[in-house]
């Protein structure tokens, strides 16, 4: 017996406070007991794959609330939504323009549909060591340079809460005859209050995917796929929706979505009003810290950042004696505050309308304490990898799905520079590839991988967890280039 249940029970009865998803923060909107409410498609409960009754009504109400043409309940997260959306608007071997900082599921869709990705890169915010927004003029340049791009996919907001100018990107995308898909997995709460960014649904995107479970009080795996405008073939979306959803969607999950939508309609305005006030206060307190910096709306208008989601607390220790991982461990061990993730120089605390004032105060007083310690710690610049590696200009020799049938070999990491990767290498979260199969491994990438590892972050994807070896293609890139390009 693994003891998973007992461990969960113990954890949930402990004093650890969740600054991570799901957005319900382990507080229920209902008295729902999962075993008592877990049914299947019995009479009176409709069928998600052919909704005509109660689920049809629930989804139509969701479309009304979000101001969309059509909205679908997804029980397989935004991952399922992104797979369905990309599959629906492309044919095999089509070209797709993708923001490089997209989630793994976008790459999975490219893999399954055998698409040719063209990458557009977000701007980079050096003082925080994070990605900024996607610039519409970069999207336009890529569309001009590449014929017949069927779809553009961007992530807005990012994991860090950075919102791109979706309206400008939508205009450019439509001018070139492509469809705009916005991964708004972290923005299901958008448009719910004036101080919270407007959703891509209101800014010209054709398909928008949102994880309800990330930022709203709904159970893990719940998500929404929205269709807007007239360019998307809804029948195709539904075809892939059926492919990527289980044939046994959980009524417990769907009921939690329904309850969450009720909550937004009935109490949303008041709850979001109070939440925004709490978050504005915490951002104001954080601005007074000496060493720790928290990303806030002052970034708007720079680095292609159109807007900023105040629900994300991106807490940076860049330029101090701490790394993101050290801050994460300190908050966890000394203050019993569980963060969503740690990266090189920062941690992310995810907040939601369900956070208590007490929880937020605990976080702020922990940060104030650590801010004082950092001065004692003294040493500057422990982790600087993000200064050196900006995830720009991946050297794509062939697409990752083309590498499947190519001969591979294992080489030591020190001999990897100049070779073509046969593996995915990424940090999770956020799941954005550092290198994808078919791309050249540079010396810079090898250095970065070691730095991440040394600073306590887990580098994933790669088979050799000790990071001594990496699988690469046998042929060198010159031969491949001659053969294919």
Ligand X SMILES: Cc1ncc(COP(=O)(O)O)c(C=O)c1O
By the criterion CB under 6 A, which residues form the site for ligand X? 77-79, 103, 105, 155, 159, 183, 185-186, 211, 223, 429-430
Q: At its nearest, how many Å lie between ligand X and the CB of residue 368?
A: 29
Q: At its nearest, how many Å lie between ligand X and the CB of residue 88?
A: 17
Q: At its nearest, how many Å lie between ligand X and the CB of residue 261?
A: 17
CA distance 347 to 339: 7
Six-digit token string for 451:
């730095």
Q: At its nearest, how many Å lie between ligand X and the CB of residue 117?
A: 16
CA distance 147 to 318: 41
CA distance 219 to 24: 7
By beta-carbon proximity to ligand X, the closer residue of 62 and 446 is: 62
Six-digit token string for 139:
């999207």
Q: At its nearest, how many Å lie between ligand X and the CB of residue 481?
A: 32
Q: Check if the beta carbon of residue 139 is closer than 8 Å to that of residue 120.
A: yes
**Other Cβ atoms within 10 Å of 59 Cβ, number:** 23
Q: At its nearest, how many Å lie between ligand X and the CB of residue 215?
A: 11
By beta-carbon proximity to ligand X, the closer residue of 344 and 430 is: 430
Element (H, E) at 124: strand 124-125
Interaxial angle between packed helices 77-89 and 234-244, expressed in degrees from 0 to 180 and rounded to the nearest 10:
140
By beta-carbon proximity to ligand X, the closer residue of 359 and 430 is: 430
The full DSSP string for 425-458 is: EEETTT--EEE-TTBBPPHHHHHHHHHHHHTTPP
CA distance 123 to 232: 29
Six-digit token string for 467:
């990071």
163 strand-pairing partners:
307
- Residue ranges of the alpha helices (H) in 348-454? 357-377, 385-388, 443-454
Q: Which residue is nearest to ligand X (CB)?
A: 77
By beta-carbon proximity to ligand X, the closer residue of 79 and 399 is: 79
Q: Is 19 helix (H, G, I), strand (E, B) or coil?
A: strand
By beta-carbon proximity to ligand X, the closer residue of 260 and 374 is: 260
By beta-carbon proximity to ligand X, the closer residue of 210 and 386 is: 210
DSSP 97: E
Q: At its nearest, how many Å lie between ligand X and the CB of residue 159?
A: 5
By beta-carbon proximity to ligand X, the closer residue of 157 and 268 is: 157
Q: At its nearest, how many Å lie between ligand X and the CB of residue 212?
A: 8
By beta-carbon proximity to ligand X, the closer residue of 216 and 425 is: 216
């Amino acid at each position: 017996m693994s003891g998973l249940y007992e461990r969960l029970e113990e954890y949930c009865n402990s004093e650890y406070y969740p600054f991570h998803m799901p957005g319900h923060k382990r507080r229920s909107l209902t008295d729902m007991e999962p075993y008592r409410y877990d049914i299947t498609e019995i009479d009176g409960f409709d069928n998600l794959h052919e909704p005509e009754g109660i689920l049809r009504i629930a989804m139509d109400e969701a479309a009304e609330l979000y101001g969309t043409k059509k909205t679908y309940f997804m029980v397989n997260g935004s991952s399922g939504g992104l797979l369905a959306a990309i599959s629906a608007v492309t044919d095999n071997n089509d070209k797709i323009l993708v923001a490089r900082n997209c989630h793994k599921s976008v790459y999975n869709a490219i893999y399954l549909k055998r698409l040719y990705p063209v990458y557009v890169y977000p701007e980079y915010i050096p003082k925080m060591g994070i990605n900024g927004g996607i610039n519409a003029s970069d999207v336009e340049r890529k569309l001009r340079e590449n014929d017949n791009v069927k779809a553009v996919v961007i992530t807005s907001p990012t994991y860090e809460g950075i919102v791109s100018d979706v309206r400008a990107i939508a205009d450019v995308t439509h001018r070139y005859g492509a469809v705009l898909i916005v991964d708004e997995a972290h923005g299901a709460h958008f448009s719910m209050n004036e101080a919270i960014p407007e959703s891509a649904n209101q800014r010209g995107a054709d398909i928008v995917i949102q994880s309800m479970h990330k930022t709203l009080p709904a159970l893990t795996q719940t998500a929404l796929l929205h269709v807007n405008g007239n360019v998307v073939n809804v029948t195709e979306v539904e075809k892939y929706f059926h492919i990527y959803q289980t044939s046994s969607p959980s009524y417990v999950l769907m009921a939690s979505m329904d309850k969450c939508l009720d909550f937004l309609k009935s109490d949303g305005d008041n709850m979001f009003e109070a939440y925004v006030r709490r978050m504005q206060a915490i951002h104001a307190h954080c601005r007074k810290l000496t060493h720790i910096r928290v990303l806030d709306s002052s970034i708007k208008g720079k680095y292609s950042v159109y807007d900023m989601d105040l629900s994300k607390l991106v807490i940076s220790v860049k330029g101090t004696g701490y790394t993101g991982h050290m801050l994460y461990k300190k908050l966890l061990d000394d203050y019993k505050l569980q963060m969503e993730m740690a990266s090189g120089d920062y941690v992310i605390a995810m907040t939601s309308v369900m956070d208590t004032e007490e929880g937020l105060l605990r976080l702020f007083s922990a940060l104030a304490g650590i801010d004082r310690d950092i001065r004692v710690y003294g040493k500057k610049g422990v982790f600087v990898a993000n200064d050196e590696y900006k995830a720009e200009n991946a050297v794509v020799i062939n697409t990752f799905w083309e590498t499947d049938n190519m001969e591979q070999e294992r080489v030591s990491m020190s001999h990897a520079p100049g070779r073509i990767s046969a593996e995915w290498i990424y940090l999770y979260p956020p799941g954005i590839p550092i290198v994808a199969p078919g791309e050249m491994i540079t010396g810079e990438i090898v250095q970065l991988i070691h730095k991440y590892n040394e600073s306590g972050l887990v580098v994933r994807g790669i088979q050799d967890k000790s990071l001594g070896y990496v699988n690469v293609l046998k042929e060198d890139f010159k031969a491949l280039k001659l053969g294919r390009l």
